Structure 1
Amino acid sequence: MPQSEPDRAPGAATGLQCLHEDSHLLVLAKPPGLLCVPGRGPDKEDCLSRRAQAQWADALVVHRLDQATSGLVLMARNTEAQRRLGRAFELRQVHKRYLAVVAGALAQAPDGAWSTIDLPIAADWERRPLRTIDPHRGKPSQTRWRSLGYDAATDSSRVELEPLTGRTHQLRVHLAALGHPILGDALYADRCVQARALRLLLHAQWLAFEHPGTGQWVEFTLPTTF
């Protein structure tokens, strides 16, 4: 049941773009700047999950994206589907790929081969909610990446990312640790790199997993706008 073209009709009343809807799950397109779940305070009540539940009362949270990140988000339609999808995320059986634009020239491996960042990530308690690379306290964190090309005019590289673990801010922290922060990153880039984009240029563009109801392998793609 692969689906790559968005269906814009479902969810239109709540400003959501729905790529797929069935009795077990929803595949939604989260815009940048929207929380996945409510935050603290009345100004953080609006979020993807509440907009989804206004259209599909049975929608249940499975996973999250950072507020600044855009892209594909799954929601379950019943507790059994939520349990199965949650377990699949825990066991790394949900495959995810992101696209980012980073500062500087990332060396491109021969034949487009993937490289791996293997740097442990820990909470930076003195600067919460930031994370930091910490070889002593950090949890194992791995990200596969490959460069899609360098643009000399903007001194930036497009990079495809595949997180093998799911640490908070993992992709942002790992790329900053390489010396190539994501453009528009208000947390891990300096002011110059932040100012080079109006938003964080990080997008969850592809998801692949076993459907919790049918057992069929499914893939969903959402092209980026940057």
Structure 2
Amino acid sequence: MDIYNLAVEKEDVGTRIDVFVSENFDDISRSGVQKLIEQGHITVNEKNIKSNYKLRDKDIIKVEIPEPVEIEILPEDIPLDILYEDNDVIVINKPQGMVVHPAPGHYSGTLVNALMYHCKGELSGINGVMRPGIVHRIDKDTSGVIMAAKNNMAHQSLALQLAEHSITRKYNAIVFNKLKEDEGTIDAPIGRHPEDRKKMCVRDKNSRHAVTHYRVIEHLGKYDLIEAQLETGRTHQIRVHMSYIGHPLLGDEVYGKRKQPFSTKGQVLHARVLGFVHPRTGEYMEFESELPEYFKKLIEKLKQIQTS
């Protein structure tokens, strides 16, 4: 069991204990913190408290993190749309609705389960048993190109390219409201939302540098079809940035409107282009996935509405 002691500063006085702790632990959600409090693993001044306890100056918070229960992740024979594969890397066209790696509530049916079956265990182990081979991820409801590493050498090379922002990542999205400029750059730091740990937001405190370049491909009445290119790769970056400038993604109920005008099964976002330097050969390789049918049909529907 890991034990941490946190001291309350003046600026944190009045903050709920569950919010404060979740902000200090990136891998523990607010609901996870609340469970730890219920189980007596989080105390203030060595006393049990409730989740709504508000911090006081000089409070000492003790956080006990129990050893995780190991979950067995099993290979599953799930068809994969493979764009490229060799002994080092595999590039997949992920369908909308597929979760990339196992997490609470999703221990089967993920891309990892499928990769474990297809690659017969030949995946990098750098990210542990829950995410073998996974170098980067895209959201469940985002479709498109994603790469995985078959060994640690490849994983380290690709991870370094991601850190250096040298990997090409271009997305297509449909956003609300016609953009005033046909292209632009959003340079705004992104961090965990202070009140909702499942969300990210633009904020100065506890955030990381984030840059998105965008250009309008086509105006579709009240909507725009855009290309967004990532310079950095923060969680939900395109969704957060476009919402921040007043153009949330169509179908995005988290960062946009709760009531959406069309049934889209999530945000209309497609990872279209992925380019990287091959870890072994040093050759630049680029892969493209055409827009899926759900995306094409929505564009046609918006065109029809525009001309009617």
How does the TM-score come out when normalised to structure 1?
A: 0.86
Q: Distance in 1 between matches of 2:250 and 2:209?
A: 25
How far apart are residue 86 of structure 1 and its match? 1.1
- Structure 1 gaps of 5+ residues are 1-12
With over 3 angstroms needed to count, the CA separation of the structure-2 counterparts of 1:141 and 1:194, relative to structure 1, is farther
What does the per-residue CA deviation read over 1:25-49, in whole Å, with 9 as the maximum and x for residues that have no partner?
10001111211110113x4432101
Higher Cα radius of gyration: 2
Q: Distance in 1 between matches of 2:212 and 2:101?
A: 25
Q: Is the 8 A contact 1:184 1:196 kept in 2?
A: yes
Q: Distance in 1 between matches of 2:93 and 2:164?
A: 24
User: 1:175 corresponds to which letter in structure 2?
Assistant: M
SS of aligned partner of 2:174: strand
Matched, 1:104 2:177: yes
What does the per-residue CA deviation read over 1:23-81, in whole Å, with 9 as the maximum and x for residues that have no partner?
1110001111211110113x443210110110112132211111121111101121111
How does the TM-score come out when normalised to structure 2?
A: 0.64
Flag the structure with more relative contact order, 1 or 2, with Cα contacts below 8 A and sequence separation at least 6.
1
Q: Distance in 1 between matches of 2:140 and 2:265?
A: 14
How far apart are residue 162 of structure 1 and its match? 0.7
SS of aligned partner of 1:107: coil
How far apart are residue 192 of structure 1 and its match? 3.1
Q: Is the 8 A contact 1:103 1:181 kept in 2?
A: yes
What does the per-residue CA deviation read over 1:142-181, in whole Å, with 9 as the maximum and x for residues that have no partner?
10000111111xx210010011111111100000111111
1:19 to 83, 91, 109: 83
2:217 to 136, 145, 148: 148
What does the per-residue CA deviation read over 1:106-146, in whole Å, with 9 as the maximum and x for residues that have no partner?
1343xxxx410011111013211101111344322110000
Q: Distance in 1 between matches of 2:171 and 2:261?
A: 19
Q: Distance in 1 between matches of 2:261 and 2:165?
A: 31
Matched, 1:184 2:251: yes
Q: Distance in 2 between matches of 1:71 and 1:124?
A: 26
Matched, 1:54 2:117: yes
SS of aligned partner of 1:160: strand
How far apart are residue 99 of structure 1 and its match? 0.4
How far apart are residue 221 of structure 1 and its match? 0.4
Q: 2:145 — aligned with what?
A: 72
RMSD: 1.6
Q: Distance in 2 between matches of 1:44 and 1:108?
A: 43
State the percentage of identical aligned residues: 31
With over 3 angstroms needed to count, the CA separation of the structure-2 counterparts of 1:157 and 1:196, relative to structure 1, is farther
Q: 1:32 — aligned with what?
A: 96
Q: 1:163 — aligned with what?
A: 230
Q: 2:154 — aligned with what?
A: 81
Q: Is the 8 A contact 2:189 2:202 kept in 1?
A: yes
Q: Is the 8 A contact 2:78 2:109 kept in 1?
A: no
Q: Is the 8 A contact 2:252 2:266 kept in 1?
A: yes
Q: Is the 8 A contact 2:88 2:151 kept in 1?
A: yes
- Structure 2 gaps of 5+ residues are 1-76, 124-132, 296-308
Length, aligned pairs only: 207
